Amino acid sequence: MNIMDIVAKWARNKPDDAAFVEVRPVSGTRDQVSWAQFDERTNRLANSLQLKGIQKGEKIFLMGKNSIQWLEAFFGILKAGVWAVPLNFRFTDDDIRYCARVAEPSAFIFDGEYAERIAGIQEDLPTVSFYSVITPEDRNGVESLESFITRGSPLSLKTKIEDEDECALYFTSGTTGAPKPVLLKAKSQMCIAVTEATNHGFNDRDRFLMMPPLYHLAIGHLLGAVVGGASSVLLTEQISPKFIIEAIARERLSVVFLLVPWAGDLLQALDRKEIDIKDYDLGCLRKIFMGAQPVPPSLVQRLKEYFPNVGYDTVYGLSETAGPGVVHLGVENERKIGAIGKPNILWDVRIVDENGQDVKRGDVGEVILKGAGVMKEYYRNPELTAKVIQDGWLYTGDLGRIDEESFIYLVDRKKDLVITGGENVYPVEIEDVIRKHHKVADVAVIGIPDDRLGELVTAVIQARQGEILDEEEMKLFCEQQLPRYKRPRLMIFAEVPRNPAGKIEKPKLRQLYSRPNNG
């Protein structure tokens, strides 16, 4: 059974219920599609792809912002047995060219706003034989996705999709450099969908708010909602604290995923009284969860002050595990906030040393994972694949430890570890402390090369809106909270850059502030 079978199931069992809703708060408009409509439209798209001669195992680029039409394209591609290759809509032309050289796509589906860009690089995409634009009507000689869908048969395809079939290729740069092509099997995708469905107890009465970009493997959250039969609500055009709260109240949302920056923005808006939650009926909300990066315990504790009756969960996963939820905290374990939790029933986790041997309980080592969701490979890169997948275990590059109750705590990324004066310093620990300062909106701790100490612990600190921070105030605060060797030697007051998945772009900071005369 695969994720497309699940869509067909809900189309039979609850045909008129909303599968996906798109809310555009700026324009005040809203669309929705039922399970029956979604199943039929994705069948039509899959049939149209076959009529175009696109065969099982070929690849289709998909580039666009979150929308129901994006989801129709994604699921329609999968139904045809074709590889979906979602692209970050922030990719440069050179990024797209690079992805095309690796993937050799047969077709390209994209949002109308990118039509001119794509037209300008078509000569560099020699394997693409068919283009379609996500607009209501054909544009500049390019067939619209709507026209393409309408022409196809509504009947389900006879294409057989096996668990071991490749189904999706994700180019993910994360925070470590050039895009890496992560190849997933059908069973990987289904594994992560079931993982998230069980983590959050999704059922057909739930309504789930999905805000992260769909091109990212955070789409696993949405796939979990699909398995449970929940309605997924896409908040598009703009994400703001006010629009999030309004969407929860108006759409009667029960489960919400927040990235750390969104949660921080929401808390600041509540603190400044820009939003009064007493003005909204939020009794529908049963759960908030966060992930995609280390979640500061202080952030969760403050969130619980405003939402004391709402359950909280932390989830952890990677692109290489087909998405999120491999490890999760569980609402019943809020006393352990700060941990990422325990492995889902479909997964196993170990903490190992440099030789791949389990470390002692409480010691820091590398987190490695095992489960059906692990990617097949880094596409066309067997050397890199062999480095990260060994004896069936995925080496994550994340450092962690396990406590006496078997809860797992992330310490940091191996590449982000700072070694100063022979001491190992884990930036996440320092970031958690600095975030407790009432004037701090965000912080990133990095190592800056130093001839004497090897590296200097450096904090890039972003002040809250309307607040003024200086080095003297922060140094005094750190003296009271941190041992001497962990205290930042350098403090830089500037914006903390984050990628669309909410992760701090530390390579960018190291490149910027390691240069002479920049610190």
| Residue 189 host element (H or E) | helix 186-200
Look up residue 369 and give its two tokens. 């994972």
Distance of CA 398 to the CA centre of its chain: 16
Residue 240 domain-assigned (yes or no): no
Range in 195-199, 202-206, 443-447 the model is least confident about: 443-447
Residue 312 domain-assigned (yes or no): no
Which residues, 6 or more positions from 52, have their beta carbon under 8 angstroms from its beta carbon?
A: 107, 130
Number of independent structural domains in the chain: 2
Any alpha helices (H) in 367-426, and if so which ranges? 382-388
Residue 459 domain-assigned (yes or no): yes
CA distance 490 to 81: 53
Neighbours of 356 (CB within 10 A): 14
Look up residue 103 and give its two tokens. 């993937």
The pLDDT value recorded for residue 519 is: 41
Which residues, 6 or more positions from 221, have their beta carbon under 8 angstroms from its beta carbon?
A: 196, 208, 210, 212, 257, 323, 324, 325
Determine contact, residues 125/89, Cβ cutoff 8 Å. Answer: no
Q: Please write the tens of the pLDDT for every residue from 138-195.
A: 888 899 999 999 999 999 988 899 999 999 999 976 444 567 899 999 999 999 999 9
- Domain end point (choices 147, 166, 196): 196
Question: Quick check: pTM over 0.75?
Answer: yes
Pairing of strands 311-318, 130-134: unpaired
Q: Which residues of 481-507 are buried (b: 16+ CB within 10 A; e: fewer)?
A: ebeeebbbeebbeeebbbbebbbbbbb
- Domain end point (choices 196, 215, 242): 196
Burial of 202 (0-12, 13-18, 19+ CB in 10 A): buried
Neighbours of 348 (CB within 10 A): 13
pLDDT cut 90: percent of the chain above it: 73
Q: Chain-wide mean pLDDT for the chain? A: 91
Q: Which position has the higher pLDDT, 268 or 254?
A: 254
Residue 352 domain-assigned (yes or no): no
Indicate the SS3 state at residue 201. Answer: coil
Mean pLDDT value across residues 5-28:
96
The pLDDT value recorded for residue 233 is: 98
Residue 77 domain-assigned (yes or no): yes
Mean pLDDT value across residues 305-330:
95
Range of the domain at 438: 418-513
The pLDDT value recorded for residue 176 is: 44
The pLDDT value recorded for residue 465 is: 87
Pairing of strands 29-34, 255-258: unpaired
Q: Which position has the higher pLDDT, 268 or 177?
A: 268
Residue 354 domain-assigned (yes or no): no
Q: Please write the tens of the pLDDT for every residue from 271-314.
A: 999 999 999 999 999 999 998 777 888 889 999 999 999 999 99
Determine contact, residues 394/182, Cβ cutoff 8 Å. Answer: no
pLDDT at 503 over 90: no
Mean pLDDT value across residues 244-255:
97
Edge-to-edge strands, sheet with 454-463: 440-450, 454-463, 490-493
Give the CATH number for residue 140: 3.40.50.12780
Q: Please write the tens of the pLDDT for every residue from 447-502.
A: 888 877 778 899 999 998 889 999 999 999 998 888 787 889 999 999 998 877 67
CA distance 508 to 492: 14
Look up residue 164 and give its two tokens. 């071991």
For residue 106, which of 53, 36, 34, 45 has the smallest C-alpha distance?
Answer: 53
- Domain end point (choices 150, 181, 196): 196
Q: Which residues of 293-328 are buried (b: 16+ CB within 10 A; e: fewer)?
A: bbbbbbbbebbbeebeebbbbbbbbbbbbbbbbbbb
The pLDDT value recorded for residue 177 is: 52
Residue 44 domain-assigned (yes or no): yes
Q: What are the beta bridge partners of residue 54?
A: none
pLDDT bracket for residue 518 (50, 70, 90): very low
Residue 169 domain-assigned (yes or no): yes
For residue 167, which of 347, 373, 326 has the smallest C-alpha distance?
Answer: 373
Determine contact, residues 389/381, Cβ cutoff 8 Å. Answer: no
Give the CATH number for residue 446: 3.30.300.30
Q: Please write the tens of the pLDDT for every residue from 60-87.
A: 999 999 999 999 999 999 999 999 999 9
pLDDT at 93 over 70: yes
